[in-house]
Chain A
Amino acid sequence: MIDRVINSRGFDNFDFRFIGLVFAILGVGVLSIYSVTHDQGAAFPFYAKQLVWIVLGTVAFLVMWLSDYHRIARLAYPAYAIILILLAVVLFEGRSSRGAQRWIPMGPFAFQPSEFAKLVLILTLAHYYSEAPRVGWLQRVVLPGLLVLPGLLLILKQPDLGSGLSFMAVYAAMLLMVGMRSKAIGVILLFSLMLFPFAWELMWGSLHDYQRQRIMTFVDPVYDPGGKGYHALQSKIAIGAGELTGKGLYGGTQSQLKFLPEGHTDFVFSVFAEEWGFLGVLVLLILFVTLIWLSLEIVGRAKDQLGALLAVGIICMLCFCVVINIGMTVGMFPIVGIPLPLMSYGGSATVMTMASLGLLLNVKRRRLSFF
């Protein structure tokens, strides 16, 4: 109770900047979604739905910001158990879309447990490392690895390659940040190399044909413009056609004419880049980099290891999603359905990302708890 009194001094300048950046990016996202989908004539168009998600996300943001992250972390294991159950449910009861079964229908909307699984995993791992001293590679690597594994397998089974990769990225990043001796890193590398064929088998075997093709034709999409590399090529055309200043709002013919698939979700960056050009893209990148820069500052200011680990996990997840998403739209990475945080249309992703950012800001706020 006492910390709440001490801590009740309200927002500071940092919070304002942080929240301002978040909403600026959200706004750019809504604008791009509006640009692609405004003429679809739906009764409840995507951009309007996205605004609803942002309102819900703001609620989640506030809840995660203003509660005690220690309390939230204590719920990590039960939450992880629930998520595992939901991921299992989704395999049997879920709604399919484009060959993957990722959603649990909830009235007119659908809920995507794999998105929330990422945040819960961060909480779980942070809680695991901070609740007791973890020493030795068994405690530091193998046990948390076993913790990650069931969730990872369930997600890959859907299959959701993007979320699966995010899962592994979070695990790897937290492992690195927790710190390992060079010897331990060497062992892990050795093991990884030995396990790689099996892991590859598991990964590759769990992929759908369309995903394999996407990865295989990643090498040269121009080779087959009508076929497998189609999405990648159309995305590159959209971005390149933006040139320096872009084609202006609604001017993006690639996206307006539906050459670009998924313009409101995974390829929202391409839409933005076509309409606003290289200058717009630079501004957007600066927004993202500044947001992450501020977030990293929170790690430095974290009072305890739990807070620092939570912050690191969340930042790594965000970074990973931003980099992979933009990387795949510009043709640097294969297309693995990873949405662009805060910009891509999607209820679960938007709410989860905003909740994560709330938690992140919570870590900074809590640094004064003991003083």
Chain B
Amino acid sequence: MATAGLQDSELGELQRRVVILRIGLLLVVALLGLRLWHLQIREGPYYRDLSENNRTRSVIVEPARGLIYDRNGVLLANNVPSFTLYVSLEDVKDRDLLVDQLSNLLGLDAALVRSKLTARGSRQLPRKVKGRLTLREATLIESHRLDLPGVMVQVESQRNYPGGVTASHLLGYVGEVSPEQLEKPEYADLHQGSIVGQYGVEKFFDRFLRGQAGQKSVEVDAVGHEKQTVVVDQPHAGDNLYLTIDARLQKVAENLLGEETGAIVALDPRTGDVLAMASRPGFDPNILSRELTPKQWTEIVQNEGRPLNNRASQGQYPPGSVFKVMMAAAALETKTVTPSTTIHCNGGYQFGRRLYHDWKAGGHGSVDLRHALVQSCDVYFYTVGQRMGIETMASFAHQFGLGEETGIELPSERVGIVPSEAWKRKAKNEPWLPGETISASIGQGYVNVTPLQMASLIGTVANDGVTFRPRLVQAVLDRATGELQKRVAVPKRTVQLRPEILPIIKEALAGVVKEGTATRAKSALVTIAGKTGTAQVAALRAGPEKDIPKKFRDHAWFVAFAPVEAPTIAVAVLGEHMGHGGSASAPLAKELIEAYVKLDLPASTGVMDGASAKKEDAGGREPDDRSGD
């Protein structure tokens, strides 16, 4: 027995000391028990609350944005799935580290990432850091997810424009709601990272397209990874829009402009439906709907061609001789002239010490109203304008919708200028000079119009004086109820003219194409009436057109309607620095009208062939690209 060290006294001593252990044990266990009672009973409800908050996170479910179709059901804007990177701030342990990691992994600017994480907003809601991750980026994040607490990659829908640059100004683009926008009441139900329309129809009809975000309550683990969805507050998809434009005609219009700078607007004068609205140069809304770096943004904004400018509704130009259409109507209504009144044109109009030239050096001889329109005689209208005075001219210009918004449903429409004495005092604080009336009578000087206003003006003439407000959206489909709400065309105004006046003018305008300044617009398919215009850019002109640097060349106008007998389309073409309206713009209008006739549209008052009708592209019907002349 190996009990050499056995000592009875010590063993007894040791066994007596066990009592100390027993007392100590009871004391300590009592302490633990008290502590547990405190945690579980006294503060139990508090910790229960904490644990409930621990496991659930609110996650916003972005709604699907409404789709946009053309008048025939051709898809113009839809949504495609894309990966979006979110960070749940509550789960982030080291924000600086995370900023470093994310900027390294994705090559993002660290300051940008930081600003996204520190932006104002609820701590509970995850912050959107980057949209449109590539598959590679998404995989990279997923493979590092254990090192990136709070980081999640969500599949979301991304705005997509299948047509690329087609109708870009009209459709607009989307982007994240800006902090300034969030302050406004119309964006009140949105949150940081929400996608809203920032331009075009996307912006103007954003409250329809936007939809309503839902919320998911998801059970997450400590690293912020979703385990299961507890409650879903379903998002409501935005409404679908059916536009009035015809995608085929839109493409034709854009191809006609090609590389030139300018705008083409085609309206249905009977309803105000915008059939096509092209502005060049354009942009790819797909690119603008992504997050741009400040550098990319600067490049676009500072581009000399100002591609973000919708020249159709925002470009302001002197109307040139197109103004004579309105002048002719005003002259007849005010009985300044009769259709048979003749005025002699010898190539110039002497007023005071200044000689106002006619565009034709030798003059047109003796001209009546029809001849003056067909040959675009300047001296005739100098005389008429001088006789009517600027105030009368201005009041008729306003009747034709100049100097005011057409009311098109696009943001930031410009109104142009209809000069008058009052206007000049207000704008320039100078008195009106008599010579300025003479310039204004042929649409030069201070007069400024947009191509859309010109299309509306010629449409009013074509429609016997009734102006319709140009409209872009003919129907809205509420996706929640499936209810299709058609929007009716609203007549805006009727020009106060004696009934015999407009037919006279229409006949003269048909003559412009038949035998006048716009014979290049003559079509074998359809009768076209129109008016050329050449808006002077530089005051002094010397030498032949082709010797003048492009940026000093004149803007070429042409407005037209067809068929003359019962007009269904009104067109305005403006080519910046393209020279003469008759040579440069008239052929474009002709081709557009011919394309329209060839499309063999169903009656445009029939609105749509139903929501599901989807005619695919116009294929071979498109004419070849051309790049102006």
Contact = CB atoms under 8 A, between A and B. Distances in A.
Contact of B43 (A133, A240, A253, A293): A240
Interface string A262-281: 00000000000110011001
Given A239-B36, A278-B36, A278-B37, A258 B14 contact: no
A270 B433 CA distance: 92
Contacts of A277: 40
A312 B10 CA distance: 14
A281 B43 CA distance: 16
B2 A70 contact: yes
Q: Is the interface of B mostly helix, strand, loop or mixed?
A: helix
A226 B353 CA distance: 86
Interface stretch (B22-30, B334-342, B407-415, B589-597): B22-30
Contacts of B32: 285, 323, 326-327, 330, 332
Contacts of A312: 14, 18, 21
Most chain B CB within a 10 A radius of its CB, from A227, A236, A240, A304: A240
Contacts of A79: none
A173 B6 CA distance: 20
Contacts of A260: 222
Nearest to A243: B44
Interface string A113-141: 00000000000000001111110000000
B11 interface: yes
B50 A293 contact: no
A239 B222 contact: no
Interface in A178-202: 178-179
A360 interface: no
Contacts of A177: 14, 17, 21
Contact of A73 (B2, B7, B219): B2
Nearest to B36: A281
Interface residues on A, range: 35 or more
A234 B36 CA distance: 15
B54 A242 contact: no
B45 interface: yes
Nearest to B39: A240
A257 B17 contact: no
Interface in A229-267: 230, 234, 236-244, 253-254, 257-261
Nearest to B89: A226
Contacts of B221: 257-259
Interface string A89-125: 0000000000000000000000000000000000000
A305 B6 contact: yes
Nearest to B21: A296
Nearest to B13: A179
A253 B15 contact: no
B5 A254 contact: no
B427 interface: no
B555 to A, nearest CB: 63
Nearest to B91: A226
A359 interface: no
Nearest to A370: B1
Nearest to A178: B14
B298 interface: no
B10 A240 contact: no
Interface residues of B, number: 51
Contacts of A129: 5
A289 B25 contact: yes
Nearest to A297: B18
B33 A282 contact: yes
Contacts of A130: 3-6
Nearest to A278: B40
Given A74-B2, A130-B5, A308-B15, A239 B47 contact: yes
B427 to A, nearest CB: 61
Contacts of A308: 11, 14-15
Nearest to A233: B50
Contacts of A227: 93
Interface string B37-76: 1011101111110111011000000000000000000000
Interface of B: 1-7, 10-11, 13-15, 17-18, 20-22, 25-26, 28-29, 31-33, 35-37, 39-41, 43-48, 50-52, 54-55, 90-93, 219-223, 227
Q: Top 7 nearest A-B pairs by Cβ distance?
A: A240-B47, A243-B44, A241-B51, A130-B5, A258-B221, A278-B40, A259-B222
Given A71-B2, A241-B44, A241-B48, 17 more contacts: A236-B47, A240-B46, A241-B50, A254-B51, A254-B54, A261-B222, A285-B29, A296-B21, A299-B21, A302-B11, A305-B5, A305-B14, A308-B14, A319-B28, A323-B28, A323-B29, A330-B35
Interface of A: 70-71, 73-74, 129-134, 176-179, 226-227, 230, 234, 236-244, 253-254, 257-261, 273-274, 277-278, 281-282, 285, 288-289, 292-293, 296, 299-300, 302, 304-306, 308-309, 312, 315-316, 319, 323, 326-327, 330-332, 369-370
